[in-house]
Amino acid sequence: MILPYYIIIPLLAAFLITLIAGKKDNWAVILSVISISALLILSLFSFITMKDETVIYEMSAWSIPYGIVLVQDALTSFILVMVSIISFTSLIFSIQYIRHLSMDWKYYALFMLLVTGMNGVIVTGDLFNLYVFMEIALFSAFALVAYGSKAEEFEAAFKYAVMGSVSSFLILAGIAVTYSATSTLTMAKIAEVLPTIDQKIILWVGGLFIAGFGLKAAAMPFHAWLPDAHSSAPAPISAMLSGVLIKALGIYVLLRIFYNVLDAPEVFTKIFLVLGAVSIIIGVFLAIGQWDMKRLLAYHSISQIGYILLGMGIATPLGILGAVFHLFNHAIFKSLLFYNAGSVEMALGTRDLRKMGNLMKILPTTSQTSLIASLSISGIPPFNGFFSKLIIIIAAIQAGLPIYAVLAIIGSLLTLASFMKVQRYGFKGENIVEAVTNKVGWRMNSAMITLAVLCIVTSLMIVPGIQEVTLDPVVRVITEKSLYMKLVLGGLNAN
Q: How many CB atoms lie within 10 A of CB 119?
A: 28
* Mean pLDDT on 266-271: 91
Domain residue extents for the chain? 264-462
Spatial contact of 307 and 411, defined as CB atoms under 8 Å apart:
yes
Least confident of 85-99, 299-313, 398-412, 435-449: 435-449
Q: Cα(167)–Cα(155) distance, rounded to whole angstroms?
A: 18
Q: What is the pLDDT of residues 113-153, one digit of tens each?
A: 999 999 999 999 889 899 999 999 999 988 888 887 677 77
Closest CA to 70 of 216, 192, 172, 187: 187
Give residue 283's identity as a one-letter amino acid code. G
DSSP single-letter state for residue 186: B
Spatial contact of 344 and 448, defined as CB atoms under 8 Å apart:
no
| pLDDT band at 341; cut points 50, 70, 90 | very high
Q: What integer pLDDT is reported at residue 103 of this predicted model?
A: 66
Q: Cα(187)–Cα(165) distance, rounded to whole angstroms?
A: 23
Spatial contact of 48 and 451, defined as CB atoms under 8 Å apart:
no
| Helices 384-398/402-421 angle, 10° precision | 160
| pLDDT band at 66; cut points 50, 70, 90 | low
Spatial contact of 16 and 29, defined as CB atoms under 8 Å apart:
no
The SS3 of residue 432 is strand
Burial of 267 (0-12, 13-18, 19+ CB in 10 A): exposed
Give residue 210's identity as a one-letter amino acid code. I
pTM attached to this predicted model: 0.93
Spatial contact of 395 and 314, defined as CB atoms under 8 Å apart:
yes
Calculate the dihedral angle through the C-alpha atoms of 157, 163, 168, 170, rounding to the nearest 10 degrees.
Answer: 180
Q: What is the pLDDT of residues 207-241, one digit of tens each?
A: 999 999 988 888 888 777 778 887 788 889 989 98
Give per-residue burial for 78-106: e unless 16+ CB within 10 Å, then b: bbbbbbbbbbbbbbbbbbbbbbeeeebbb
Q: What integer pLDDT is reported at residue 1 of this predicted model?
A: 72
DSSP string covering 457-486:
HGGGGGSTTTHHHHTHHHHHHHHSHHHHHH
The SS3 of residue 428 is strand
Spatial contact of 129 and 68, defined as CB atoms under 8 Å apart:
yes
Calculate the dihedral angle through the C-alpha atoms of 477, 482, 487, 490, rounding to the nearest 10 degrees.
Answer: 180
| pLDDT band at 64; cut points 50, 70, 90 | low
Spatial contact of 10 and 115, defined as CB atoms under 8 Å apart:
yes
pLDDT of 495 over the 60 cut: no
Give residue 406's identity as a one-letter amino acid code. V
SS3 content of the chain, % helix, strand, coil (to 5): 75, 5, 20
Q: What is the pLDDT of residues 384-430, one digit of tens each?
A: 999 999 999 999 999 999 999 999 999 999 999 999 998 888 888 77
* Mean pLDDT on 292-300: 90
Q: How many angstroms separate the Cα of 165 from the Cα of each of 109, 171, 404?
A: 23, 10, 33
Q: Residue by residue, what is the 3-state secondary structure of 350-401? A: CCEHHHCCECCCCCHHHHHHHHHHHHHHHCCCCCHHHHHHHHHHHHHHHCCC
Q: For the chain, what is the largest distance between any 2 Cα atoms, rounded to a whole number of angstroms?
A: 70
Q: What is the pLDDT of residues 451-484, one digit of tens each?
A: 999 999 999 999 998 999 999 999 998 988 777 7
pLDDT of 337 over the 80 cut: yes
What sign has the CA pseudo-torsion 327, 252, 206, 161? negative
| pLDDT band at 170; cut points 50, 70, 90 | very high
Total count of residues recorded for the chain: 495
Is the preceding omega at residue 65 within 30 degrees of 0, hence cis?
yes
Give per-residue burial for 297-332: e unless 16+ CB within 10 Å, then b: bbbbbbbbbbbbbbbbbbbeebbbbbbbbbbbbbbb
